[in-house]
Amino acid sequence: MKITAVIKQTSLALLFLAPFRLFALSFTDEGDPKKLAAAIVADMNDEQVLAQTFMLGWVGAEPSPLIMDWISDRNLGGVKIFGWNTSDTTRLAITVGELQKEALKGAYQIPLLVATDQEGGWIRHVKGATSETPGNMAIGASGYPQDSYRAGYYIGRELALLGINMNFAPTVDLYTNRNSVLIGPRAFGADPVTTGILGAAFMKGQLAAGVIPTAKHFPGHGDTDLDSHGILPKIDVSLEVLWSRELIPYRMLAKEKLPAVMSGHLAFPNTQAGGVPASLSSWFLNDILREKIGFQGLIITDDLMMNGATASAGSLSKAAKQALAAGNDIILFSKTPLLFDPVWTLLLSAMKDEPEFKARVQDAARRVLEVKLTYLRGEKAVPSIPEVEKLKNNLPDPEGAAFFLDLAARSVTVVKDAPFPLPPKDAGTVLLTGQYLDFFKQGKAAYPGAKSYWYSEDFGINDFLTHARAADTIIFCLSDAAGLRFLRALEPLKKKVVVVSVLTPIHLDRTPWVDGAIAVYSYANESFVAGFSVLIGRIGAQGQLPFSLNEPRWIAPQ
C-alpha cells in the first residue's frame, strides 16, 4: 500500500473518531454548571454516579493504597482530612496533590472535594504550621461581623494553600445547654440572630478565600449535653421552638446562598421525625431544610461511622442508604471501607433494583458536580495541586497572625471586675496555676517573679494548697470541671484569687467568691497574651459575654 493511501485512510479514521474525542464531556468544559453537571451525570454509569456521593477519610500522613484505589477505580467524589493526617503540613500538601493528580486522570477529569474541620479555636484538625485562633466564642464576645469575616478569610487562605477546598465551618449551633461538652466555645453564643449574622460573615470570608463553607450541625447540636459520636442525643423540643431558635441561623444563611450544610446525628422525638436522627430523616432534610427554609446547596452527613447514626439504622450500610434516600448528597466516612464493602455493594444493588433510589443518587451526584463546577474552577478556585514552595512563608498566614492577636484582645471579657488592673507591684508574691504552657509563658512575662504550679490529680489538692499558702495572689487558669475542684479548694485560704477562664466561662458560676475573673475563649498563645495584657492594665477589656450566666438550664457540676 502506498504511503499516501495509508495517510488517507488514517485521516478518514481520525475524522470518524473526532466527534467522540472533541465532544467527550469533561469537567474543564465551559458552560453553565447546572447544565454541565446534569450532562455528566447522564453520561456516567451507576458506579461513577454513586462514587461522587462518597467522601472518605484514611489513616496516616501519606495516601493509603486503599484510598488511592477508591480514586482510581471508583471515581471517588471527596476526601476528608482528619487530625491524624496533619502533623506535617508540608507532607499534607504533597498528599493532597497526589490524591488530586490521581482524580484528574479519571474519565471526566473531576477533582476531589477535599474537606476538613478548621472551625478556629478549639476545633483545628489541620495543625502543624497553621494558625491557632481565638475561636467562635471570641468572635461572639467581640461582636463584630467583620471579625467573623476575617477569621473565615484567613483560615480559608491557609486551607487553600494546602489544597483544601471545603471547610466544615461555620458552626452555627447555639450555646443553649451550658453542660454541652461537644459545643461550648465552638458556638458564637446563645442568640440565634447574632449567630446567623456572624455565621454569614464567616461564610463570606471563606468564599473570598476560595473555600466552600459548610454550616453545621443541622438542625442544631447546642441543646444537649450528649455527644453524637458515642450516642444518639434526643432533644425534647418542638418544631415551633426549633423554628424560632436553632433554625434561625440556617434560615438566614440559606438566603445568603450558603453552599453546604452538614446534617447532625440528633433525634427530636417531639417533631414529625420522631426518633429518627435528623441526618437520616427525609422530613428534616426535604420538608424543613429544602422546602420550608429553601436551602438549595449540598447536604453532607456528619461521619456515618459515629454511633449516633449506625445505632439508629442498624448497620453502616443501612445508615448510608437511609442517608442518601433521606436527602443527603454526600455520605461521610472517617475511615476507608474496602472496595467491595457492603456499604458499597448494597447501595449499588439498590440503584439497579430501585428506580426511585437511583434517581435520588443521580440527583445527589448532580448537586455534588454542580458545586464542584461552581467553586473549583476559575481564578478564585483553590488549586488542585498545592504549590508546596509557598508554604514556608505563608503558614501561618502573616496578615492573619496580626488579626488573630487583635481579635483575642477585642474579645477579652471581664466577668468579675475587681481588682483590675493588677500590676506586678500590687500583686505581691504571685502563683500561676494552670495546665497550658502558653499560660505560664505569658504569665511569667507579665509577672516576672511569679512561681508556677501545674495542677494535677496525680499530686492532689493538698500539695497544691501547700504552694498556694506561700503566695499573696493566685492567678488560676480555669478550663474544666477538674480545674474547678482545685480552684474551689482555695476559698478557705482567703487569698487574692484571680481567674483566667479559657474556653467557656460557665464554671465561674460556682466561684462567686473569687476576687476577679476574665474570660478568654481559647488556649491559643494570642489569647493568653491578650488576657495578661488586660490583667496588668496594658489594654482595656472590650469583650461582652455572648451568653448569660446563672441561667436555670445551666446545671454546674458539683
> Length of the chain, please?
558
Question: What is the spatial order of strands in the sheet that 113-116 belongs to?
Answer: 298-301, 260-263, 212-218, 166-167, 113-116, 78-81, 54-56, 331-333
DSSP string, 499-532: EEE-S-GGGGGG-TTSSEEEE-S--SHHHHHHHH
Residue located via cell numbers 453502616: 316
Residue located via cell numbers 446545671: 555
* Annotated catalytic residue 515: no
Task: Mark the ranges of the chain whose per-residue pLDDT is less than 50.
Answer: 1-23, 554-558
**Distance (Å, whole) CA 454 – CA 437:** 9
**Which option is the CATH number for 412-535: 3.40.50.720, 3.40.50.1700, 3.40.50.300, 3.20.190.10?**
3.40.50.1700
The alpha carbons of the chain give a radius of gyration, in whole angstroms, of 26
Residue 305, beta-bridge partner list: none
Question: Helix, strand, coil: what percent of the chain each, to 5?
Answer: 45, 15, 40
What's the pTM? 0.93
pLDDT at 533: 98
- Which residue in the list 302, 329, 397, 438 is annotated as catalytic? 302
Q: HSE-up of 140 (CA within 13 Å, CB side)?
A: 35
DSSP string, 187-205: SS-S-HHHHHHHHHHHHHH
DSSP string, 42-89: HHS-HHHHHHTTEEE--SSSSPPHHHHHHHHHH---EEEE-GGG-SSH
CA distances from 53 to 113, 222, 258, 347, 363 (A): 11, 28, 19, 11, 10
CA-nearest of 228, 238, 291 to 263 is: 228
Residue 503 cell numbers, joined: 474556653
- Which residue in the list 29, 229, 467, 509 is annotated as catalytic? 229
Residue 517, beta-bridge partner list: 416, 499
CA distances from 267 to 200, 228, 482 (A): 26, 10, 30
pLDDT at 551: 63
Q: Which residues contact 228 (CB under 8 A, 6 or more apart)?
A: 182, 217, 221, 264, 265, 266, 302, 306, 307, 308
**Distance (Å, whole) CA 418 – CA 5:** 98
**Distance (Å, whole) CA 265 – CA 217:** 8
Residue 421 is classified by DSSP as: S
Per-domain residue ranges of the chain? 48-114+336-381, 412-535
Residue located via cell numbers 461582636: 143
* Annotated catalytic residue 353: no
**Distance (Å, whole) CA 26 – CA 377:** 12
> At 263, which helix (H) or strand (E)?
strand 260-263
pLDDT at 286: 98
Question: φ and ψ at 300, to 5 degrees?
Answer: -120, 135
**Distance (Å, whole) CA 44 – CA 28:** 16
- Angle at 545 (CA atoms; ends 543, 548), nearest 5 degrees: 165
Residue 375 cell numbers, joined: 467553586
CA-nearest of 21, 41, 9, 11 to 362 is: 41
